[in-house]
Structure 1
Amino acid sequence: MSKSVLRPTRIAAAVCAIFLVNHAACAEDAPAPAPALGKANSTSAQAPVMQTVMVKGSAATYDARRDDTASKVIVNSEEIQKYGDTSVNDVLKRLPGITVGGAAGRGGGEIRMRGLGSGYTQILINGEKAPAGFSTDNLAPDVIERIEVLRAASAEFSTQSIAGTINIVLKKTVKLDQHVVKISGAKGNTFSSPSASIQWSDRDGPLSYSMGANAWRYQYDRTTPSYETGTDAAGVPDVARASTWSDRGRSDGFNLSPRLNWALGDGDTLTWQTFINYNTFTSNSQSLTSVELAADPGPDYDRIDGSFGSHNGFARTDLNWVKQLGDGAKLDAKFGISGNRNASDGYNLGSKGGAAPTLDRKVVSKTTEQGFSSQGKYSRPLVLGATQDGVEAPEHALSLGWDVGVTDRDDTRRQREAPLPGSHPANFDEDFSARITRVAVYGQDEWNVSPSWSMYAGVRWEGYQTEIDGAGFASVNERSSVLSPLFQTLYKLPNKKDQLRLALTRTYKAPATSNMVPRNFISANNSRLDPDRRGNPRLKPEVALGLDASFEHYWGDGAMLSASASLRQIDDYTHNVLMQDGERWLAMQVNDGRAETRGIELEAKFPLRAVFNDVPAIDVRASVSRNWSRVDSVPGPDNRLDQQVPLSATVGLDYKSAGGDLSTGTSFSFRNGGTARLTDIQSGYNSVRRDLDVYALWKIDTRNNVRVAVSNLLAQDYSTESLYADAQGTSTRSTTNAGETQFRLTVERRF
């Protein structure tokens, strides 16, 4: 196909697709994704007008990873569901350059790109941030259409993405007469987790509709040991304590994702989509500590019996209108409202030395959020001039957009302690309300300088105002804004196999609202290793200048090698400081100087038959990432950013039989650990993590599938340490989470 035919088609797709990640749709049941330029999101077309301009040949050969100007990896639903995972975090751990913190199978691990978490990696759901209290662990892979991994920022998404962006796009493509039911069960040594899901979709004339529903239960009973040691100023041991944390609990939840789409004619569409998630959690625990040194006074409470319960509900509904204008222009506007409610209650009964309890504490808290948001974009393709002397004129995909929203948050916390003999009750009523207002506007252009060279330029301005009022502290009214110029380019070498990418970005990390509220969070056994915490209302955004470069080599069908390097220079770096407030230890976040992070990543994907003849149909994928960082305000060695993961790697093999009835594969992921210096007196240690997973899928017939998966075959224990050292002495606490293998069976039926 000639270039003159291919590129206009891609421009038309680009101006139609960029907001599809936020529930937009142009047409349902298109035969294949239409190509998109740069940051435009490739997805199934949804408007009849798109069918009039789509060239099937280009769509069939289009590869977002290879052809988009911006560096982007798209993981489709088949890849997402391959291992039968019950949590999206288990899917992400196998992707190149992404690591998930914590012990395998425990859930709640932090998702990281370039080894960085704590807000450096932006996690989006349908292009927007999830509210406080919502965990991606509650997202079942069955409700996900695709996962987009963006290594460099683009103007249409928030630039709160110093490490990068992971955008989780919920299912929205409607397939005619699709009715699928799945029942799954997972089992390990200390837990079990049954789940069920249904996907239902159909069409009635111009109206298409779908409904996805998932329900699950997770119950566990486990014991976690820890050990604490310490020395005094002279180096003489004065602390030696062994503790066990016994915890058993249950989590139940469900989510619903209904969607309606109307084809209004002339390519216009109106789409309504809602996502509802509800989760409950209850647990009972017991902490026991034994003292091994006579000189050790022991903790305030060597036995703490506790219970905890929480209820979290989140709902968001969006209305998306797409209006086709003249000359290929389009207006894409979305309006949404959301609500979130998180209520919890905890109870602790503490005693020491077998005596009567001296701690009887109950904490009840509730957080509610309501929000309104609007996003939109006006886009238009533009061709400057005509082809002259055999040279193709530059083609542009221009767009202007907005992103505004208001979120109101109310937070209440009640702490009540009974006046027991020998106790010192501390009762608190800690309430605050906050309003976060954001306004963002952006413009961007992507154009083809030549058939082999494309460029992307954008600029985004984001402004935030945070207003906080509450009991016991002065009102907070903080404003911040960041201007982010962005540039990316792709050059394809004449051999048609090799290409170069370059990106220059300005990104930032905004402080979390909870870290700005100037109130105390009280620790039961206050110590240097377990301090109280207080918010800092004067926190400023961290701002980073970034450089990304990569080389990609493509050979054969589905075969690719890539090498990339990145650099980020971060100003107003935020980290915790530890101090004494009277007789209690207190931790607080502050802005403190500059930090820098660097990284390299190698990746390979290819069918084994591209290398050897007469071998089985096996696909090979492998990657390795090496990261370095330095924090100027923290002395070395090991003064890494946010306990950055220094080395990670993945290797995977996938096989599909000739008839497609059997698919099987294995994946191994590695995450290095080591010591990281957090401040001049604090350090943390994480052990190495190795995950080995296998799966097999049998397609019994066209309607019935059975999937078997085993994860964490190595059942490796996971250890962490907290270390403290100053002129007064040292303290070290080590904790070990036992590894366990998980077995999963999934049965799928299509009607």
Structure 2
Amino acid sequence: MNRTRPYLKLSTLSFAVLCASFSVCAEENNNVAVTPQGADPAVKNLSTLTFQAQAEAPKDPDISAVAKTIVTREEMLQFGDQSVNDALRRAAGFQIPTPGQGPRGGGGASGMRFRGGGAPIFLINGEPVQGGPRGGMSIVDTLTPDMIEKIEITKQPSVAQASVSSSAVINIILKVPLDDKRLGGTIRAGYGVAQSERKEEERKNLSVQMDGRDKAWLYSLSANQMWNDTTSVTKTQTANQTREQKRVTERNSFMFSPRLEYELDDQQKLVGEIFYRNNKSDGLTGDQVQKDKNDSIRLNTRYERKDKGDSDKIRLSVEKQNETESTRSSQLNTYTDETVNEYGFAYDGVRKFGETKQIKFGVDTRASELESNITDTLDEQRYALYSEGSLRFTKRQTVTLGVRQEWVQRSGLVDYSDQHLSPVLAHRFDFTQNWSLQTNLSQAFKSPNSNSLSPTISVSTDSDAGSLNNPDRGGNPNLRPEKISAIESTLGYNTASGGVNVTAFHRKIDDYIEKVIQLEGDRFVERPHNQDNATTYGVEVSGRYALKQTEHGHSFMLNGQLSTVRAKVEDENHQERLASDVAPYTASAGVSYNYQPWQLATSINVSYVPEFTRDLDNQPYTRTINERFNVDISMTKRFKQGWATTLSARNILSTDYKERLNNQTDGSLYQARINEAIPSVLLSLEKKF
């Protein structure tokens, strides 16, 4: 627990400061808009879905050299996005699983990966959000573009964010009233069907977003109800036999979120918001019946003060989650009931000294309790202090230096205490108005969360459940924290019409946490384990070009990205191998075309993942995952009086997901499974009022 390997010592950081004048910073833009650091994104006319000139920079822009990408609600509607994941799929570095593919389906926020690592940290209005105790559906999965003001993506470590070790923090800012009328909003209803040779799916959803203003009071209400019924057939194969098994799943998800704000004066306001969600899933596979339920309620309250460039924010939060899982069959009968109670207090402050100096500082404290009907209670307390200073020492150069001190204490299931210091150094230099380069150095520690520590087993489904190719899942109470050293640099050329960004990154991780499959009794179980170390590195290239609306009403946008990543793992025996579930690269491209006279917006997005083969840890087999190709299409037609309809086609021309395990000695087949890709069509009707 106490052993440390400080890769980036103070001398290294001091040397980096001396070398900072050779570095340059660019706002990395992997989506449809590039905004200078702290600037408002490009203004668009939502009714016509066209682009105007770059918005004027605010009076008090953020001076920080840490790069940030902004995705606005208008941009999500421009691309026909139906969810947060739809917006993030165009961002370089993110690997998002296709719904219905993979051993357990996946496709939600909890299944997302960033640069070959774990899932990014999600925030809503600056507050961390999570799924169930063992990875249930997150609030993020129920949000629609109508509920969102913008999405802020920070891909580099920042001590002011929820986790300096994540390297990817996604902050979702919820929508505020667009004007001063007492009530306005959007009602959207959707119906979708999906069908392939052996799969069929019916999807229905209804969402409501309302907001308004009455003098000093601002209020909003968001609600989303989804029904998803799926019938699928999974094909499994061994050297001796081939089996197909039918699975019927009924999912029901509901999210309800009221929010109330009161403006004390021009500088101060009070905010209160509630998030309630309820998710149910009933599945039938052969004689195995699976019933999962996850419900939670979270209360966030905030006091905010802004005075020119200075600001203060006090946040209080309370959350209660309950997750149950029941599995019944002729061979198995399990029931799990877990509850999480969490309490949080945080303060964030910003002070500016002229136009060239800025300091951010704050404190974050959280206490949580995980209760289970199977294991001991896990109590956890986390405390953090951070400070970050930014200096613009020339018109073209900015340097940011920050440090975060964290303490973690656990009791009950795990008796553990630790503390660590995480420094971050970022530097930015603009060669010209268009050319820039940014570099970020960081050292961080990442303590395992309660989901990873709880040993409770979640039983898998299908005919090969509990096999090496489809194992059960569980946690590991003996995990040690990861120790991470990272460097990242982005070279960019950006104009009002578009640009290209090239990012190179390298991360070295001691005590790397990897999911390892081992035989426990007569079933295989996948649990996180500490490997000796790991190294991830790669290059990302992203580009964008936008043709603003012409005199005849045409507008056009093109974006694309290529993300490469190589993740090498070294075990305690100093044997090196590539991480088993990280693709060597991903590529995607999107085209959007709008014709204003017809109020018609169309888009098409294409993604590709190559075939790759990896060795399994401590197993005499290799796993091969086939290459996958996917096409998504959407079309939106707007009518008078606020009516609109959207037709979305997902997974068109998609490739089936195939996993194959072969013996390393002779290459013979051990196990294989195929999840058939299922193209879907969703028709949505909306009315603005």
- Quote how far apart the aligned CAs of 1:68 are: 6.2
The alpha carbon displacement at 1:721 in A equals: 2.8
Q: Does 1:284 align with 2:245?
A: no
- How far off its partner does 1:537 sit? 2.5
State TM-score, norm by structure 2: 0.83
After TM superposition, give the deviation of residue 334 of structure 1 in Å.
0.7
The one of 415, 424, 428 equivalent to 1:490 is: 428
Once structures 1 and 2 are overlaid, which stretch shifts more, 496-505 or 123-132? Answer: 123-132
Q: Are the equivalent residues in 1 in contact too, given 2:186–2:210 (CA < 8 A)?
A: yes
Identity %: 21
**Residue 155 of structure 2 corresponds to residue 151 of structure 1:** yes
Residue 521 (structure 1) shift: 6.8
Alignment of 1:694 onto 2:633 = yes
CA distance in 2 between counterparts of 1:649 and 1:739 reads: 19
Cα deviation 1:564-592 (Å, max 9, x = unaligned): 10010111112355666677766654322
Partner of 1:245: 245
Correspondence 1:410 to 2:371: yes
CA shift for structure 1 position 517: 3.7
- Taking a change above 3 Å as real, the CA distance of residues 376 and 313 of structure 1, as seen in their structure-2 partners, is same
Amino acid at match of 1:96: A
1:51-106 CA-to-partner distances (Å, cap 9, x unmatched) read: xxxxxx99535799999622221211123344555543343223222121255675
1:702-724 Cα distance to aligned partner (Å, 9 max, x none): 41111112121103211123456
Q: Which residue matches 1:138?
A: 141
Higher RCO structure, 1 or 2 (CA under 8 Å, sep 6+): 2
Partner of residue 323 from structure 1, selected from 305, 328, 332: 305
Deviation, structure 1 residue 381: 0.9
Alignment of 1:434-583 (within 5 A): 434-469=378-413, 476-493=414-431, 495-517=432-454, 535-555=475-495, 557-576=496-515
Q: Which residue of 2 aligns with 1:397?
A: 358
Alignment partners' CA distance in 1, 2:364 and 2:614: 37
CA gap of 1:616–1:546, structure 2 versus 1, over 3 A, is same
Is contact 2:177-2:211 (8 Å) kept? no
Deviation at 1:685, TM superposition (A): 2.6
Pair 1:267-2:248 in alignment = no
Q: Which whole-Å CA distance do the structure 2 matches of 1:193 and 1:58 have between them?
A: 39
Map of 1:345 onto structure 2 = 326
Alpha-carbon distance in structure 2 between the residues aligned to 1:66 and 1:668: 34
2:347 to 373, 376, 380: 376
Q: How does 1:186-265 map to 2 (within 5 A)?
A: 186-189=192-195, 190-229=200-239, 240-265=240-265
Q: CA deviation at 1:449?
A: 1.1
Aligned AA for 1:554? N
Distance 1:246 1:379, change over 3 A: same
CA contact (8 A) 2:42 2:55 kept: no
Letter of the 2:645 partner, please give it.
V
- Closer, same or farther in 2 for the Cα pair 1:522/1:336, shift >3 Å? closer
**SS of equivalent residue, structure 1 residue 432:** coil
Alpha-carbon spacing, 1:740–1:670, altered in 2? closer, same or farther (3 Å)? same
Change (3 A) 1:58 1:168: closer
Paired residue secondary structure (2:685): strand
Query: What is the match of residue 92 of structure 2?
Result: 96
C-alpha separation in 1, matches of 2:497 and 2:512: 41
3-state DSSP of counterpart to 1:138: helix
Superposed, which structure 2 residues align to 1:574-653 within 5 Å?
Answer: 574-576=513-515, 588-608=527-547, 617-633=555-571, 639-641=577-579, 643-653=581-591
Unpaired runs of 5+ in structure 2? 1-32, 44-52
How far apart, in 1, do the equivalents of 2:465 and 2:601 lie? 52
Partner of 2:317: 336
Pairwise mapping of residues 635-674 of structure 1 onto structure 2 (< 5 A)?
639-641=577-579, 643-659=581-597, 661-674=599-612
The Cα shift of 1:735 comes to 1.1
Does the residue aligned with 1:60 lie in a helix, a strand or coil? Answer: coil
Q: Which residue of 1 aligns with 2:377?
A: 433
Distance 1:283 1:268 in 2: 49
Indicate the residue corresponding to 1:721 in structure 2: 660
- Counterpart residue identity of residue 344, structure 1: E
Structure 1 residues 253 and 334: alpha-carbon distance in aligned structure 2, compared to 1, 3 A threshold: same
The one-letter code matched in structure 2 to 1:167 is: N
**Does residue 1:314 correspond to 2:320, yes or no?**
no
> For structure 1, which segment, 700-709 or 187-196, has the greater mean C-alpha deviation from structure 2 after superposition?
700-709
The alpha-carbon deviation at position 632 of structure 1 amounts to 2.1
| Conserved 8 A contact 2:389-2:401 | yes
Name the amino acid aligned to 1:205: K
What amino acid is the match of 1:139?
T
In 2, Cα distance between equivalents of 1:526 and 1:501: 47
The answer on whether the counterparts of 2:80 and 2:636 sit within 8 Å (CA) in structure 1 is no
User: Residue 117 of structure 1 contacts residue 642 of structure 1 at CA under 8 Å; is this kept in 2?
Assistant: no
Q: Is the 8 A contact 2:164 2:422 kept in 1?
A: no
Structure 2: distance between partners of 1:521 and 1:281: 14
The structure having more radius of gyration, on CA atoms, is 1
Aligned pairs (5 A) from 1:49-198? 60-61=56-57, 69-82=65-78, 84-102=80-98, 106-108=105-107, 111-119=111-119, 121-127=120-126, 128-131=128-131, 132=133, 133-136=135-138, 138-142=141-145, 143-159=147-163, 161-173=165-177, 175-177=179-181, 178-189=184-195, 190-198=200-208
CA positional deviation for 1:545: 0.7
Structure 2 CA distance for partners of 1:638 and 1:86, relative to 1, 3 Å = farther
> Would you say the 8 A contact 1:113–1:164 is kept in 2?
no
How far, CA to CA, are the matches of 1:124 and 1:642 in structure 2? Answer: 29
How far off is 1:605 after superposition? 0.6
**Cross-structure match for 1:353:** none
1:423-444 deviations in whole A, cap 9, x for unaligned? xxxxxxx232111111111001
Q: Helix, strand or coil for the counterpart of 2:640?
A: coil
Q: What is the identity, as a one-letter code, of the residue corresponding to 1:664?
A: T
Distance 1:737 1:583, change over 3 A: closer
| SS state at 1:712 partner | strand
In structure 1, distance between residues paired with 2:62 and 2:671: 47
Deviations 1:264-287 (A, max 9, x none): 02511111111111111111111x
Question: 1:117, 1:563 → 2: CA distance?
Answer: 20
**If the length of structure 1 is used for normalisation, what is the TM-score?**
0.76
Q: Taking structure 1 as reference, are residues 93 and 584 closer, same or farther at Cα in structure 2, changes over 3 Å only?
A: closer
Q: 1:541 to 1:112 in 2, by over 3 A?
A: same
Question: How many residues are aligned here?
Answer: 629
Counterpart residue identity of residue 307, structure 1: V
Partner of 1:366: 337
Change beyond 3 A, Cα 1:630–1:275 = same
Change (3 A) 1:67 1:484: closer
**Which residue type is aligned with residue 485 of structure 2?**
L
* One-letter amino acid of the counterpart of residue 160, structure 2: E
Shift of 1:447: 2.1
In the alignment, the residues of structure 1 paired with residue 474 and residue 143 of structure 2 have an alpha-carbon distance, to the nearest angstrom, of 34
Q: CA RMSD in A?
A: 3.5
Unpaired stretches in structure 1, ≥5 consecutive residues: 1-32, 45-56, 230-239, 287-304, 350-358, 384-393, 413-429, 470-475
Cα distance in 1 between the residues matched to 2:529 and 2:586 = 29
Q: Is the 8 A contact 2:320 2:339 kept in 1?
A: yes
- Once residues 41 and 125 of structure 1 are traced to their aligned partners in structure 2, the CA distance between those partners, rounded to angstroms, is 19
